[in-house]
Amino acid sequence: TSIDKYAVFGNPIKHSKSPLIHASFAEQTEQALQYRAVRVELDAFECAVKAFFDRGGRGLNVTVPFKQQAYDLAVQRSVRAERAGAVNTLYLAENGELCGDNTDGIGLVRDMVANLGWSLQGQRMLILGAGGAVRGVLEPLLKERPASLTIVNRTAQRATDLAQEFAELSGDSGLLQGGGYELLEGRQFDLLINASSAGLSGELPDLPGSLLTERSCCYDMIYGAEPTVFMRWAALHAAWAVADGLGMLVEQAAESFYLWRKLRPSTAPVIKHLRQTLTAA
Ligand code: NDP
């Protein structure tokens, strides 16, 4: 019998940390498996998924830009994938049907709550950005019962639409608000999450420093060797706590690993190891 095969499909994929993360999980839980990063051509996602599972592949992670296509391909979808409209984890059900799940949101919440010790309940939350990642995290964040959840985005309409869609799902239309950055005028938040990709090119949306209180926590979904622009902005305005998205990355991977192997690896040593490899690079 051959070794169980897993992979992450994306484009680009070169800098993916997922193979390293899953190799650590496998070693720690003494599972024999192989996990590869595969660059899939933009028009070949469906074929590649079919071929992977036809050849006995056990599970896939899916990243940019294929999460929506993975959603469409999945025959069975978890509630959280359904809400997110995006799938980052694929595997086969016992009857051979393709199952899709989304572990990004739970990954973010676990990192903030379990790893960082931030409390989410009753907090005034702000999300910057309204892309795919935000769709994935809204439902798990709402489950934590924030006092309010505000989404702002460069393209205001996307934030307005998201807020409206999820307000209907949560059944509380007063909780969610969405719009452009002008919504931030005169407001303060306890938890700020940067889910805009502006930081990838070293940019930061225009944010008033008065957004923060002395108890505000700031989370950037982006990570790197150096503190991100958003983290530097948060530190400059005396945020209470600041974190990047490395923990989210490891936690979403752990949840995928659990879906595939029914085992929960410890994430702390893996986050620590990744941090070391990032800063040593
Ligand atoms: P999308 O491309 O779907 O969305 C990008 C968002 O960023 C949009 O809301 C876009 O606004 C906004 N944006 C881009 N450039 C700027 C700018 N210059 N100024 C203001 N806003 C800008 O990306 P995703 O939602 O998939 O991912 C968002 C970020 O989260 C990425 O950086 C990604 O790396 C990170 N991420 C991290 C994860 C982790 O595990 N740590 C998991 C998933 C994502 P507009 O609508 O106006 O274009």
**219-259 pLDDT tens trace:** 999 999 999 999 999 999 999 999 999 999 999 999 999 99
Q: Are 205 and 181 in contact (CB under 8 A)?
A: yes
Alpha carbon of 195 to ligand 1 centroid (Å):
5
Rounded to an integer, the average pLDDT of 162-184 is 90
Give dist(CA 35, CA 13) in Å, integer: 13
Residues 183-206: tens digit of each pLDDT = 999 999 999 999 998 988 889 988
Whether ipTM exceeds 0.85: yes
Is the Cβ atom of 245 under 6 angstroms away from ligand 1?
yes
Residue 146: which of 217, 241, 239 has the closest Cα?
Answer: 217
What totals of helices (H) and strands (E) does the chain contain, helices first?
10, 12
CA of 129, closest atom in ligand 1:
9
SS3 230: helix
Q: Are 211 and 126 in contact (CB under 8 A)?
A: yes
Is the Cβ atom of 248 under 6 angstroms away from ligand 1?
yes
Is the Cβ atom of 124 under 6 angstroms away from ligand 1?
no
Give dist(CA 136, CA 152) in Å, integer: 16
Residues 99-140: tens digit of each pLDDT = 999 999 999 999 999 999 999 999 999 999 999 899 999 999
pTM here is 0.95
Q: How confident is the model at residue 279 (pLDDT cuts 50, 70, 90)?
A: confident
CA of 134, closest atom in ligand 1:
25
- Residues contacting 57, CB < 8 A, separation 6+: 5, 6, 7
pLDDT at 2: 82
Is 14 marked active-site? no
